[in-house]
Amino acid sequence: MKTSILGLSFLVAASLHAQTLIDSFGGTSVNSANWEAITPFADSSVVEGGGDVTLTNRGMLLSQNGFGPIITITGQFEIVGNVHDQFMITIGTTGSITNPHGAFVNGIQFQVISQFDNGSTSNNVNINAISDDIQTISIVNATMPINIGQLYDFKVTDDGFNTAFYVGNLETPILTMSIDQSGFGDLVGFNNREGADGGSLDSAGSVTELSNVEISSVPEPATFGLILGTGAVLVVGTIKRRK
C-alpha cells in the first residue's frame, strides 16, 4: 500500500513538472536540443553568445518540444537596432511560416513595438490570436514606452482560456485576454521584425537581444484527472490484492 501511494506521488509530481525549459544562452551556439533557429531571409540571423541570443531581421527561435496549454514564460529582451523593430513571443503555434514576411502564422502572439513606421508609439503592446489564413482573429492592446537599448523583463501566462502579458512590471499584467487555446499547436516561438530582405526598408537592421528564458507548463486539467484516475485504480487494485 505504501509503495503504491509513493509511486502515485512520484507520478503526480512528474506530471506537474513535466515540461520545463531553462536557457541562459551562455554558450557559443544555439542549443539544438531546445530550439530550432530559423532564418527566413538572407539578412536574418540567430546568434548566441555573451548570455543572450541576438535575433536579427526576423531571426527566430522555435521550441523543439511542445508546452501547455497551462504555461508560464519569463525572460528579458532588449531592442538594440532599428527603432521600428518588434519583439514577439508566440505560444500555441505549429511553427508554420507561410507568411510572406516570415512570421509565425498561427497561435497566440505577444508583441512589443518600439515605434510604428509612421512614428506612432500608441497601442504598441499587443496580444493577437492569429490563424493560418494570416488574419488576426482577436486583439487587445496597450501603450507603453519601449526605449532602444533598455532591458525589459517579460512574462506570459496562460491557463488554456485566459492569457496575460507582463512587460517591465512582473506583478501586474499590462494586458489580459480570454481565448480558448485549443485548435492551435503547442510550440513556443520568439522573433523580431523582418528587415530589408523581408520587404521592409523601414525596419532594416532590426536587432533584438533575448536572455534568461524559462518556460514551464503542466498538463491540462483533463490530462491531470486521467493521471489521478489511473493512480487511484492502481491503489485500489493493490488494496484488493492485500485483502
Q: What is the pLDDT of residue 139?
A: 87
For the stretch 70-89, pLDDT in tens is 999 999 999 999 999 999 99
Instruction: Tell me the whole-structure pTM to 2 decimals.
Output: 0.84
Q: What is the mean pLDDT of the chain?
A: 85
Closest CA to 104 of 123, 85, 130: 130
Q: Mean pLDDT throughout 217-227?
A: 58
Model confidence band, residue 10 (pLDDT cutoffs 50, 70, 90)? very low
Closest CA to 44 of 213, 214, 202, 199: 199
Closest CA to 141 of 129, 157, 158: 129
Is pLDDT of 228 > 50? Answer: no
For the stretch 100-144, pLDDT in tens is 889 998 999 999 999 999 999 999 999 998 887 555 666 899 999
Q: List the beta strands (DSSP E) in the chain.
A: 19-23, 35-38, 45-49, 52-56, 60-63, 70-79, 86-93, 107-113, 125-130, 136-142, 152-159, 162-167, 175-178, 187-192, 207-218
Q: What is the pLDDT of residue 227?
A: 44
Q: Where are the domains of the chain?
A: 1-18+220-243, 20-218
Place of cell 485500489: 236
How far from 36 is each of 41, 57, 87, 189, 190, CA to CA, in Å?
15, 16, 18, 9, 11
**Contacts for 53 with CB less than 8 Å, ≥ 6 apart:** 25, 30, 46, 47, 61, 209, 210, 211
* Full DSSP string of 170-230: SSS-SEEEE---TTS--EEEEEE---GGGT-STTTT-EEEEEEEEEEEE--HHHHHHHHHH
Q: Which CATH architecture has domain 20-218?
A: Sandwich (2.60)
- Expressed in angstroms, the distance from the first to the final Cα of the chain is 11
For the stretch 145-200, pLDDT in tens is 999 999 999 999 999 889 999 999 999 999 999 987 666 799 999 999 999 999 99
